[in-house]
């Protein structure tokens, strides 16, 4: 005897032309919403990509790129930026790593305040940072007389460039390093201790390797932020070629007198930023911190 076909679902039995129209309208609204989402995403992508593409296109096809890169103002800015950002990153690593470890592993009075103060430069307007550095370390600042008595001048020198970069960029490293240290399993450190390793050896042989992806990401972000620093530097260090004029300041100064040099420096910063972003994403992917 042939099997009997199953009864239609209650929803199908009670469906009426009016209800089917409601369903179709819902599907049409969903399709329209999807189209609007893709349209918004496309517009947003154009707003972000078009300026970058314009810089690269102008640098590659309408500018004597290599000739511009060989000009003294560009060479001086490149040299000074590499030197100052290297020093700033080194200071951030040496001083920021212990601070990040303390914030990740220790409880002490005022920890929340210290954590907040360390992240404040990340959201502080660069002009405010420059004013603060000038009022603290300038000739008429809080420490100005003390520095003058020691024969030291900080404001509008190369040291001021480094200090401005450290102020605005070091918190990026400290924040990432703190997250990295918090993610290390303490049981592994305890196992190393039971095997006779001192805390110092355990830190370098166990903690640092496990937290290394976060440390590397933080260092890359710190260096990139220092490389692009403008506002605090121009207010605290000025813009003197060969002494305080870093790449962003040279771009600003060359806009009026040498557009090709400004475009060449901009292209260099775009390429460096893209490579750093790729490094950060690759590191995060290998450590399982990012998708795709």
pLDDT at 87 over 90: yes
Find all residues with CB under 8 Å of 178, minimum gap 6, and list them.
100, 101, 103, 104
Q: Are 216 and 202 in contact (CB under 8 A)?
A: no
Mean pLDDT of the chain: 86
Mean pLDDT calculated for residue range 71-88: 94
Q: What pTM, to 2 d.p., does this model score? A: 0.82
Q: Band of the pLDDT at 84, cuts 50, 70, 90?
A: very high
Q: What is the pLDDT of residue 292?
A: 46
Mean pLDDT calculated for residue range 220-226: 93
pLDDT at 162 over 90: yes
Q: Are 240 and 156 in contact (CB under 8 A)?
A: yes
**In the numeric block, which tokens belong to residue 175?**
């924040």
Q: What is the pLDDT of residue 291?
A: 45
Q: How far apart are CA 158 and CA 211, in angstroms?
A: 33
pLDDT tens for each residue of 35-64: 889 999 999 999 999 999 999 998 888 778
pLDDT at 19 over 90: no
């Amino acid at each position: 005897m042939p099997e009997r076909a199953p009864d239609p679902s209650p929803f199908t039995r009670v469906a009426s032309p009016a209800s089917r129209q409601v369903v179709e309208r819902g599907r049409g609204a969903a399709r329209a919403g999807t189209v609007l989402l893709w349209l918004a995403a496309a517009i947003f992508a154009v707003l972000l990509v078009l300026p970058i593409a314009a810089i690269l296109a102008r640098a590659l096809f309408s500018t004597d790129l290599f000739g511009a890169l060989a000009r003294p103002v560009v060479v001086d800015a490149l040299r000074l930026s590499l030197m100052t950002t290297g020093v700033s990153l080194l200071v951030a690593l040496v001083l920021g790593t212990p601070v990040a470890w303390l914030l990740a592993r220790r409880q002490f009075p005022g920890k929340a305040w210290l954590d907040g103060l360390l992240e404040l430069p990340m959201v502080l307007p660069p002009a405010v940072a420059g004013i603060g550095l000038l009022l603290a370390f300038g000739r008429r600042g809080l420490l100005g007389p003390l520095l003058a008595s020691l024969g030291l001048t900080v404001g509008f020198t190369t040291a001021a460039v480094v200090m401005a970069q450290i102020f605005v960029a070091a918190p990026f490293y400290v924040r990432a390093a703190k997250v990295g240290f918090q993610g290390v399993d303490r049981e592994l450190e305890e196992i190393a201790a039971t095997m006779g390793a001192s805390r110092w050896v355990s830190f370098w042989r166990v903690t640092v390797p496990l937290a290394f992806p976060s440390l590397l990401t933080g260092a890359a972000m710190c260096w990139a932020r220092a490389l692009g620093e403008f506002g605090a530097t121009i207010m605290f260090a000025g813009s003197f070629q060969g002494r305080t004029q870093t790449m962003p300041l040279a771009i600003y100064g060359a806009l009026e007198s040498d557009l090709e040099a400004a475009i060449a420096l901009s292209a260099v910063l775009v390429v460096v930023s893209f490579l750093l972003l790729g490094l950060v994403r690759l590191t995060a992917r290998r450590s399982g911190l990012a998708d795709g």
